[in-house]
Amino acid sequence: MNKFYSFPLDYSTNPSEYYWFKEGFTKEELDIIEKDVKLIKPQYGTIASGGDPDDITGIRKSTIRWMFQDPKFEWIYNRISELVTEANNTIWKFDITGMPEAIQYTEYYDDGGHYDWHMDCGPGELSTRKVSVTVQLSDSDEYEGGDLEFMRGSTAEQAPRGKGVVVIFPSYMLHRVTPITKGTRKSFVLWLGGSHYR
């Protein structure tokens, strides 16, 4: 059993706080994930509202692969569930009943790769999202730019970065990935939730 290291910020009753692990996944585990994910066909990242491809790239420019819940990836879903349980019990205490969506593996390249300010929850199927999880697969020195940032109040706050870092936050938090200026940023994301917020 791996030992997880969490580095607390201000875990008061702040519903806009996030939680993170310095090594939620080991480098060896991430190498296995990268090897398996290369067998999945890539596609361009989209946005919930749809739209013309040129308009979409103004908001989001990335390549994605879907890691569906099959036996090969079951251990990853289980690990994320453990990490989210700790984070949720510490801060938000949401009623979380499942993870109905697939893990989204994402690559941002230095051709303008980015994802502008957005929330992960919304209408329709997005309304069930309560907690978002980002797992970083790239070391910090493998790319420049590409910072995960949160908007809390009037200023942007950069989240921790590094290979194996896991950042967990409520899906209603406004966030973005800043433009890549060099290299490639690799990560994967997953959303957990259930019925209406409580």
The pLDDT of residue 48: 67
- Those residues with Cβ within 8 angstroms of residue 173's Cβ, 6 or more apart along the chain or in another chain: 16, 18, 119, 132, 150, 151, 152
The domain total for the chain is: 1
Q: 6 or 30, which is more confident?
A: 30
The pLDDT of residue 9: 53
The reply to whether 13 falls in a domain is no
The reply to whether 118 falls in a domain is yes
Share of the chain above pLDDT 70, in %: 89
The pLDDT of residue 1: 39
Q: How confident is the prediction for the chain on average, in pLDDT? A: 90
3-state secondary structure of 165: coil
- The tokens describing 25, both together, are 């996944």
**Of all residues in the chain, what percent are helix, strand and coil, respectively (each to 5)?**
25, 35, 45
pTM value is: 0.89
Output the CA angle 120-124-130, nearest 5 degrees. 40
The reply to whether 14 falls in a domain is no
The reply to whether 3 falls in a domain is no
Residue 79: give its domain's CATH number. 2.60.120.620
Report whether pLDDT(72) > 90. Answer: yes
Report whether pLDDT(119) > 60. Answer: yes
Q: Are 158 and 148 in contact (CB under 8 A)?
A: yes
The pLDDT of residue 3: 46
Burial of 123 (0-12, 13-18, 19+ CB in 10 A): exposed
The reply to whether 8 falls in a domain is no
Q: Are 61 and 45 in contact (CB under 8 A)?
A: yes
Share of the chain above pLDDT 90, in %: 76
Q: 149 or 45, which is more confident?
A: 149
The reply to whether 48 falls in a domain is yes
Q: Are 164 and 22 in contact (CB under 8 A)?
A: yes
Mean pLDDT for 52-78 is 87
The reply to whether 99 falls in a domain is yes
Q: pLDDT tier at 2 (50, 70, 90 boundaries)?
A: very low
Q: Give per-residue pLDDT as tens, 10-29.
A: 555 688 899 999 999 999 99
3-state secondary structure of 70: coil
The reply to whether 111 falls in a domain is yes
Domain of 42 in residue numbering reads as 19-193
